[in-house]
Amino acid sequence: MTKLVQGVRKYGLLAAAACAASGAMITHARLPAASPTLEGPVKVAARRVTESQYRNIIADTFGDWVQVNARFEPERRQDGLLAIGSTQLSITPVGFEQYYGAARSISDQVLSEGRRATTVPCTPRDAEQADDACAATFLRSYGERLFRRPLTEAQIDARLATARKGEDFYDGLELALTSLLIAPEFLFRIEVAEPDPSGAARLDGFTKASRIAFLMWDTGPDAELLAAAKSGALDTPEGLQRQVARLQASPRLADGVRAFFTDMLQLDAFEGLTKDASIYPKFSQTVADSAREETLRTVVDQLVTRNRDYRDLFVTRETWLNRSLAAVYKVPFVSQEEWAPYTFPEESGRSGLLTQVTFLSLFSHPGSSSPTKRGVKLYEIFFAQPTPDPPADVDFSKVQASSEGTVRMRLIEHMTNEGCAACHSVSDPVGLALEHFDSLGQVRMLEDGKPIDVSAVLNGKQVSGAQGVGQFMRDNPRVPATLVRNIYYYGVGRGFDERDETFFEQEAQAFAAAGYKVPALFGQIATSPYFMKVVIPSGAKPVPARPEQVATRHSADSRRGAAR
């Protein structure tokens, strides 16, 4: 059971003992240590931007008419989140080829003859020749949006050298822009800590701006946020609060919420999801894409548009459908629009997120449902409680069941077998209660002609079917507590640390007190000092600051003057 104990320790308080036969649980969370001191700026993290962040930054910087045609490298999940696992990822040669191709294509579009008049903020003296002044203006203005901070003179000079090699001004500019778009400063979120006036480490203003922008809007900081970073406003609680409130009130909060739930609900699993065509002929790529969209629309509609209680996500019968999904759910599609709201009738047996095609089909086999898979994922996603792999030496001969009978009969063997029971007795009951839904999420009451028993005992309480599971989730305080934890780690991009527990407890209480409103929770976490906590990575030490770290407005102006 070594792995089991590991799992529990790793996930700390929230990984309650349900799965842990050993019952080990850490309850004594320590307070975080005081901020370290610094002598100069230091880079504390380099996190690869995600696909959606990349796309959003490009659209924000140049306009949403720019086509981004690239295949992004897969991300990696750790402690339940891609945002944590992907902090360890870099860019492989294959990935770089893709970024490089995308960069060339974007530069080509931005500086095409039809666009350059609006995209380039100045006119070169002679379009046949390089023009450092105009090129620098261009690079400075777009570079700041792409790098999420002002470019250093060295960064600009390197691109000016590239630009001079072009066949003419715009060709050179295109090369220089391509170079910005493949730069690590664009492709990675490079987070910087600096000493505050007392010498204590704090995240610098641009890092703060990026953290809140990526968390709340899933994109880089806009001009106003960058200005707030530059002016030092973000270094004051009031200034930070003002910006967070602005982001929270914006419709773009929906983008941030979408991106977060795409990660937490593991919607990336749709990539490569297949179903056996002869058993589930209705499944198609269209259905898969629609199911993903159904879930995200439901989440945004319930949590952002209507500011509902997060917990109701597990019991609501309201959802969003298009024509394909309506056919899968076997209900009429009543709208002239592409998407329409729909409320399942009570007798449908459906109950919130867990009974959408997304959850039911993602965590199933291609040709059959899997109560174990569903149970394991339910605890992993909504309780941050991972299930260890089965022990390698488990004696499967004891659980050899005939192929006859229902899944329940086979799984009961697991639950009564000593080596399996610790985990299967947690994952399986909840999964078995969802058995009225097949591998595509369609209702079925029979299996091999026999009625399916969907009763289960969860936390000592007898429940029946998906609606029972939904209510169990609705009432379980660990479900909203896990959301708090996940939003925090998603935002800071660090793995689980048991020292964070006290913070989570406080935040979970505040979330509850405010009625479990998710937009407010995003704001609450973003403004918490804990969110901007500095963790100096091992091996990082400041280098002495050089005189010209950041191109100031003054030096930019003087350069332009000199070029004239």
Partner 1 sequence: MKTLRFDRRSIMRGVLRGGAAVALGIPTLDMFLDGNGAALANGRPMPVRFGTYFWGLGLTDTPQGTRWVPTKTGHGYEITPELESIRALKDKVSVFSGFRAIGDGKPNLVHWSGLAAIASGSAPGATNTMDSPSFDTIVADAIGQSTRFRSLDMSASGKPLSNSTYTGKAFATPEVSPLALYERLFGDGFQDPNNPDWKPDSRVMLRQSVLSAVKDQRDALAADVGKADRIKLDQYYTSVREMEKQLALQLEKPEYNAACLIPEKPEADKRGASIEVVNENSKTMARLLAMALVCNQTRVFNFVHTAGASETYLAGDSKIYHQYSHDEPTDAKLGYQINTSRLAGAVMQGFGDFLTELDAVEEGDRTVLDNSIIMAYSDTGYAKIHSLENIPMLLAGGAGGRHKAGQHIHTTGEPVTRVSLTAMQLAGAPVGEFGMGAMKTSSAVTEVLA
Partner 2 sequence: MIGRRPIAVLTAALSGIAAGGVLAEPAGAPETVGWTRTYVIEWYEPAMYYGADGGVISPGTDCPGGTHPSPDWVKVLMDAGYTREEAEWLRNPANPTRSAVHGQPGMAFRGKDRANVYDFPATATEAGLTPVSGTIARGLDLDDDPQTGFTSPDGGKGVDNNFYKALGCWKTYRGPPRMSSGAQGQNDGMREGAWTIVVVVSGSGADPMNDENVEVGFFHSRDKIVRDAMGNVARDYTFRIKPHERQEAIFRGETRDGVITARGVGNVVLRNPGADPELPLLGSRLELEMAPDGRLTGLIGGYRPWLPVYKGWIAGRGAVIEVLTWVEMPDVWYALRRYADYSPSGPGGEKSYISFALTVDAIPAFVMEPDGARQVARVKSYRVQAAPAAQRTDAAIARAHTHLTGGNVE
Kindly state whether residue 330 participates in binding partner 2, applying the rule CB under 8 A: yes
Return the one option of partner 2, partner 1, none that residue 38 interacts with (CB less than 5 to 8 A, by type): none
Kindly state whether residue 449 participates in binding partner 2, applying the rule CB under 8 A: no
Binding to partner 1 (CB under 8 A) within 518-547 occurs at 536-543
Side chain identity at residue 444, one-letter code:
R
- Write the DSSP string, 48-115: EPPHHHHHHHHHHHH-TT-----PPPP---BTTBHHHHGGG----HHHHHHHHHHHHHHHHHHTSTTT
Kindly state whether residue 489 participates in binding partner 2, applying the rule CB under 8 A: no
63 Rama class: left (phi>0) / alpha (psi -120 to 50) / beta: left
Kindly state whether residue 270 participates in binding partner 2, applying the rule CB under 8 A: no
Return the one option of partner 1, partner 2, none that residue 400 interacts with (CB less than 5 to 8 A, by type): partner 1
- Whole-number minimum distance, CB 299 to partner 2, in Å? 10
The residue written with tokens 């040669």 in the block is 93
Count of positions on this chain that bind partner 1 (CB under 8 A)? 82
Kindly state whether residue 282 participates in binding partner 1, applying the rule CB under 8 A: no
Kindly state whether residue 90 participates in binding partner 1, applying the rule CB under 8 A: yes
Kindly state whether residue 140 participates in binding partner 2, applying the rule CB under 8 A: no
Side chain identity at residue 4, one-letter code:
L
Give the residue, chosen from 68, 122, 331, 510, that forms a contact with partner 2 under the rule CB under 8 A: 331
Assess contact for 56 and 215: CB atoms under 8 A: no
Pairing of strands 188-195, 42-48: antiparallel
Instruction: Return the sign of the alpha-carbon dihedral for residues 303, 308, 311, 315.
Output: negative
Kindly state whether residue 471 participates in binding partner 2, applying the rule CB under 8 A: no
Pairing of strands 446-447, 188-195: unpaired
Binding to partner 1 (CB under 8 A) within 177-196 occurs at 178-179, 182-185, 187-188, 190
Give the residue, chosen from 82, 176, 426, 481, that forms a contact with partner 1 under the rule CB under 8 A: 176
Residue 370 token pair:
């899997």
> Measuring CA to CA, which residue among 325, 413, 414, 313 is closest to residue 361?
325
Give the residue, chosen from 47, 149, 297, 308, that forms a contact with partner 2 under the rule CB under 8 A: 297
Give the residue, chosen from 5, 24, 66, 89, that forms a contact with partner 1 under the rule CB under 8 A: 89
| Choices 212-220, 273-281, 303-311, 510-518; region in contact with partner 1 by CB under 8 A | 273-281
Binding to partner 1 (CB under 8 A) within 33-52 occurs at 41-46, 48
Kindly state whether residue 153 participates in binding partner 1, applying the rule CB under 8 A: no
Assess contact for 191 and 203: CB atoms under 8 A: yes
Binding to partner 1 (CB under 8 A) within 196-225 occurs at none
- Write the DSSP string, 337-377: SSSEEEE--GGG---GGGGSHHHHHHTS-SSS--HHHHHHH
Residues of this chain that interact with partner 2 (CB under 8 A) are 251, 254, 275, 277-278, 280-284, 297, 300-301, 304-305, 318, 323-324, 326-328, 330-337, 339, 341-345
